[in-house]
Each structure stands twice: as C-alpha cells, then as structure tokens.
Amino acid sequence: MIKIFLRNKNSKKKLKILLKRFFLQAPVKANRQKIIELLLKLPLPWKIKRKIMFTFPPPYETFEGVIEMPKLNLLNPETKEYFLKVAEYWIKEVGIDGWRLDVANGIPHDFWKEFRNRIKSIKPDAYIMGEVWCVASPWLNGEEFDGVMNYPLREIMIDFFIKEKINVEEFDSKLAKLRGMIPLQANMTMYNLIGSHDTPRYLTLCKNNINKMKLTIIFQMTYIGAPAIYYGDEIGLTGKGDPDCRKAMIWEKEKQNRELLEFYKKMIKIRKDFPALRIGKFKTLIKDNEKNIYAYKREDDVHEVIVILNNDTKNHDVKIDLSREGIYKDVLNEREYISKEKTLIINLKAKWGAIIIGKK
C-alpha cells in the first residue's frame, strides 16, 4: 500500500492517467460518493465511520475501505514509473538512508524488484525494509528487501519473556526455525522490534514489570539482526493498542524512567563496542528448562561473546564451558573472571543476564 496526497486540482488531473485505480463499477456514482465523503468528515466515532466505509464502499478497490487510499495498478508502466521516480528523488535529492515500505505484501513482487534495482544503483548501502507481518521469505531472497519488521520474532519474545508460555527448549527451537526460513544475510539485517505504532507498548504488555523488559532488551541487543527502538520505549512510555500506543513522547525528564534510559544506552554501547554482536556467528550453548536458563554465543575473529539469560524467578548458578583459559569480563554487570579450566560459574539474579567477553 502506498499513500498519496493530492495537493491541488492540477496534480489531480495530471495523475488521472498515471494513477489508474482498479474500478469495480462504471460509471462512477460521483454524487453518492460525495455524500459518503461528507459523512466521513463528520466528528463521528471511528467504529461508525468504519461501518459506513464498508457498507457503502467506493466503486474502486481500496486499502481497508479507506476512500483516500485507492489501490493503484502498479503493473501499469506509467503508474509504476511515477512511484519509482518518487523513490529515486528522495534518495538523490534529499539523501535519505533508506525506505520503510508500508503493507509491502500488498504490492506486486515485480515492482519491488525494480524498486530495489533503482535504489541500489543510486545508493548501494540504502536500507530497504518492508512491513510484512508473516514470515517474509519470498521478499528476502536478495531481489527485494534487505529486511522486514520482524513481528514473528516479537511474538516469540512475548511468549518467552512476558507470558512465559514456552520453555527454554521451545524458545530456542522457535528461534532456530525462524532463522532457517530466510537466508543468513537477511537474518543479519532483520528489523528486530519489540513494539511499533501498530502494537501495544512492550512495557504495558509486561504489566510494568521492568525486569521482564530489561531481560528482553538484553536479548534483543545481542541477538542476530538489527535491534529497533520504538520512540518512547527507552523512557518507559506505556500504551495499549492503537491509537494509545501512538501517544505523544514525554519530554519532561522528571516524568521519564531515567534508569531505563541509561540501561538502553549501556546496551547500545555494548553492541557498538563488540562487532561480534552485530556480524558474529550465533550458537546456542545452554537450554536448561529446569532452571529456565538460556545461553548463546556470538563470535568473530577477535572476540567470543557469551550471553546468559535467567528467565526464572529465582537466582541460579550457571556453569559455562569456554574455548580457552584466561580473563573474561562481564560487561553487563562489570565483573571480571579468571578461567583456569576453560569453565566459569556465574551467579545470575532472577530475570537478569550476563554478557561475558573473551578475546581469542
């Protein structure tokens, strides 16, 4: 779905040919349509407006019945070219870093393939992300998007960290299955979110349990893919479903959760300091259902990074097997360990984690 706003009469005339709609009946009943449009401008509750839209739909296909959002025929060469030039303009003239494409699964694959070719020819490192709620394998084969909004991963995180409806082995299995459904390069550039403008706020889903949210953030910032922060999550903004999740940012520092903000900053710094967390390999190390402990390793040629998560309500001692002896640092809890037999025993607080760094 692509939104288009027509600013004046001339632009409407100009686009009459280019932006061809999928008409369902002809001729268009203009008078009836004008009455419907007037009704929808009244200050009516959204439920009533929605009922009007679906009871008296326009004579052309739309997105979700919204008359201002007609379905455009992007297989029409002129229409296709118009939007490709729009995409090029913002890259060439404004220098944006990429595109987030709304309801991308509603657009033909051929269009997105040409979209990618045109954008990458101008700016090879431009990031192209699609909004696709399902497992998006067809869009991630290297011909269309660099990544998509990783809603399936978000559901797995909610089931494990918030609802606690799956155990450690199920958590790891679901993660492995999701990784296996798309190519490695796409896994590395997936837009890993815990919430968006279309979902309830994560802290609200946690019922304001800040420890559950922090544990999720530790995972999000150390897992394979590109972690994303929805504005306000970093200062503890709450909100139920749309539109409550889109409420205004809290700018007054005294009303912000500064502790959570500092935690976000710390996790971002850790991720930036150790490239293994961005481009390193991923390997599961521990799946302990009894203690509810999950551990994995990210590594590159310089560092091995071991992430340990305690999703239990109790403290636990965790034994970690290492690749070498020597000094290891827990950069999350700011501790130092010396391994003499290629093992470490870490005491983890409930609903908390550790990030152990060792040089190769």
Tokens of 23: 């008409």
Helix 258-273 to helix 210-222 angle, to the nearest 10 degrees? 20
How many residues does this entry show for the chain? 360
- The answer to whether residue 102 is catalytic is yes
Distances in Å between the alpha carbon of 192 and those of 26, 149, 348? 45, 6, 26
Query: Which one from 68, 78, 102, 325 is the annotated catalytic residue?
Result: 102
Query: Which one from 114, 131, 144, 312 is the annotated catalytic residue?
Result: 131
Q: Which residues contact 36 (CB under 8 A, 6 or more apart)?
A: 52, 53, 56, 58, 67
- The answer to whether residue 242 is catalytic is no
Q: How far apart are CA 69 and CA 53, in angstroms?
A: 12
Helix 109-122 to helix 77-89 angle, to the nearest 10 degrees? 30
CB 308 within 8 Å of CB 330: no
Q: How far apart are CA 222 and CA 237, in angstroms?
A: 23
Question: DSSP character for 89?
Answer: H
For residue 310, how many other CB atoms are within 10 A of its CB? 25
Q: Where are the beta strands (DSSP E) in 136-273?
A: 147-148, 191-192, 226-227
Q: How far apart are CA 344 and CA 355, in angstroms?
A: 13
Question: DSSP character for 107?
Answer: S
Residues with catalytic annotation? Answer: 102, 131
